[in-house]
Structure 1
Amino acid sequence: MNTQAARAVTTSTGHRSRPRTWPVPAALVALSAIPLAAGALRLVQLAGGPTAIPADHRFAGFPGALVAHIVGAAVFAFLGAFQFLPRLRRRRWHRRAGRVVAVAGLVVAISALWLTLFYDPQPGSGAVLFVLRLVFAPAMAACLVLGFTAIRRRDIAAHRAWMMRTYAIGLAAGTQAFTEGIGEGIFGHGVLVADLSKGAGWVINLAVAEWLIRRPARRRANQGRRTHATA
């Protein structure tokens, strides 16, 4: 390690500093808080509790697909956030929790596809959102399968990339809470605006995921160029 690198990781007391990694899962949990809270209120409502959110006639009774989707999303969002902690990736917890996250993710994807195909469309939504859900639900399941096959062949980089894409798709509901408000504030109300605003949530999440996936390669390339220039 050169002198500059040593200074970068050593504090004034002579101890090496550790990068703070907890803000990442904290931010991911916070992003998923809005849809998870709405899902919890819906479960309370379906169980006969107080009506804290507007009733939805599509889910009269106690639909199993909706319950599976909400519970699976809660497990996937919460446990999945902590899979990004480097210190946990080097322990057995990461592997065991990863299996739970994978199962929960498949439940989310399959139940989302079921709700799209066999339930009435969401009020205020149109054909664009219907098609987007038919695209991203199978895409989430496909990314999970590819991530699982990658870790089976010990391809850590590919596993990390596919799981990040999976989490980006699954966490789109949190981003959509912001894109819908921004879309309506700029373009007004309308079915197409609402559909495209929700679609923007998936696009933004995947764009951020792809940037994070490619960042280590760009960093290594920049370091290589600096080393070559110094030599």
Structure 2
Amino acid sequence: METAQKRRNREWMIAAGLILLAVIPSVAGVFRISEIATGAPETPANSRFLQLPLPVVVHIIAALIYSIVGAFQFLPTLRRRRTSWHVLAGQYLVLPSGVLVGVTGLWMTAAYQTPLVDGPALAASRYVVGLAMLAFLALAVVAVTQHRYRAHGEWMIRAYALALGAGTQVLTSAPFLIIFGAPDELGRLLQMDAGWLLNVVAAELIIRARRQSRTPARRPAPRLSV
């Protein structure tokens, strides 16, 4: 039987893994903000960010807050304290930053002239992901106001999984970039969508495991002797 200490250690290892997955794309984000702050020379790769810096800066900062603070929201030890950490962090940090991530993601998709390799299909995927994330956050808020805490947690898991897509996309793109070089439009679409899809599947598996752990095992019906 798992001891309380082992369970806590496992919880913190999961949180550390989520934070690591969030930090991977954040390195590029910090570099992008430094370009904007220092007035770096304009290039085809950064011109859209330098000409319209607000959405990307807000997106990067909000994503950092959402992904890092959100990782601790899933720790059962902290989640049980509904009157302290979980509620306050959720109301004032996780939810607002999550909404900003979704809104600025949609804003950038609509406003920025992206590289040709991204293509209209990838733009459509970004719209779907951004709208889905905002919808999941809204459903999570509705659920918690109705005191349906289990449903609230499930919708937050789904929203968080979509937000961490950027980290998973590094893992789905980097090996192919190293081995085969820059992808074409179809390759880019498949690599990016694979990151979101993997996170969606992982979220649903976690939700299913949580449901099963809360469902008491059924005892077999007694056999009637004749």
Instruction: Please state which band the TM-score falls in when normalised by the shorter chain.
Output: 0.7 to 0.9
Shift of residue 93, structure 1, vs aligned partner: 0.7
Output the amino acid matched with 1:192: L
Output the amino acid matched with 1:112: G
Shift of residue 18, structure 1, vs aligned partner: 4.5
Structure 1 position 76 matched with structure 2 position 66: yes
Once residues 181 and 154 of structure 2 are traced to their aligned partners in structure 1, the CA distance between those partners, rounded to angstroms, is 34
**In structure 2, what is the equivalent of residue 191 of structure 1?**
185
**In structure 2, what is the equivalent of residue 144 of structure 1?**
137
Output the amino acid matched with 2:65: V
**In structure 2, what is the equivalent of residue 207 of structure 1?**
201
* Conservation of the 8 A alpha-carbon contact between 1:183 and 1:194: no
Count of aligned positions: 216
Shift of residue 17, structure 1, vs aligned partner: 4.5
Structure 1 position 96 matched with structure 2 position 88: yes
Once residues 52 and 72 of structure 2 are traced to their aligned partners in structure 1, the CA distance between those partners, rounded to angstroms, is 31
Shift of residue 191, structure 1, vs aligned partner: 1.3
Alignment of 1:170-189 (within 5 A): 170-184=163-177, 185=179, 189=183
Structure 1 position 129 matched with structure 2 position 122: yes
TM-score w.r.t. structure 2 length?
0.86
**In structure 2, what is the equivalent of residue 39 of structure 1?**
29
**In structure 2, what is the equivalent of residue 168 of structure 1?**
161
Once residues 121 and 64 of structure 2 are traced to their aligned partners in structure 1, the CA distance between those partners, rounded to angstroms, is 26
Structure 1, gaps ≥5 residues long: 1-7, 11-15
Shift of residue 170, structure 1, vs aligned partner: 0.3
Structure 2, gaps ≥5 residues long: none
**In structure 2, what is the equivalent of residue 106 of structure 1?**
99
Q: Tell me the SS of whatever aligns to 2:38.
A: coil
Ranges of 4+ aligned residues in structure 1 off by more than 2 Å? 181-189, 216-221, 227-231
Output the amino acid matched with 2:127: L
Shift of residue 57, structure 1, vs aligned partner: 1.4
Once residues 87 and 139 of structure 1 are traced to their aligned partners in structure 2, the CA distance between those partners, rounded to angstroms, is 29
Once residues 50 and 24 of structure 1 are traced to their aligned partners in structure 2, the CA distance between those partners, rounded to angstroms, is 38
Deviations 1:86-138 (A, max 9, x none): 11112211111111111000001000101001110245311211110010101
Q: 1:87 pairs with 77, 80, 83, which one?
A: 77
Q: Return closer, same or farther for 1:218/1:186 CA change in 2, 3 Å cut-off.
A: farther
Q: Return closer, same or farther for 1:224/1:116 CA change in 2, 3 Å cut-off.
A: same
* Conservation of the 8 A alpha-carbon contact between 1:65 and 1:114: yes
Q: Tell me the SS of whatever aligns to 2:90.
A: helix
Q: Tell me the SS of whatever aligns to 1:60.
A: helix
Q: Tell me the SS of whatever aligns to 2:140.
A: helix
Once residues 162 and 212 of structure 2 are traced to their aligned partners in structure 1, the CA distance between those partners, rounded to angstroms, is 24
Output the amino acid matched with 2:60: I
Output the amino acid matched with 2:210: P
**In structure 2, what is the equivalent of residue 28 of structure 1?**
18
Q: Return closer, same or farther for 1:210/1:230 CA change in 2, 3 Å cut-off.
A: farther
% same residue = 37
Shift of residue 183, structure 1, vs aligned partner: 4.6
Range that drifts further, 69-78 or 18-27: 18-27
Shift of residue 189, structure 1, vs aligned partner: 2.4
RMSD in angstroms over aligned alpha carbons? 2.5
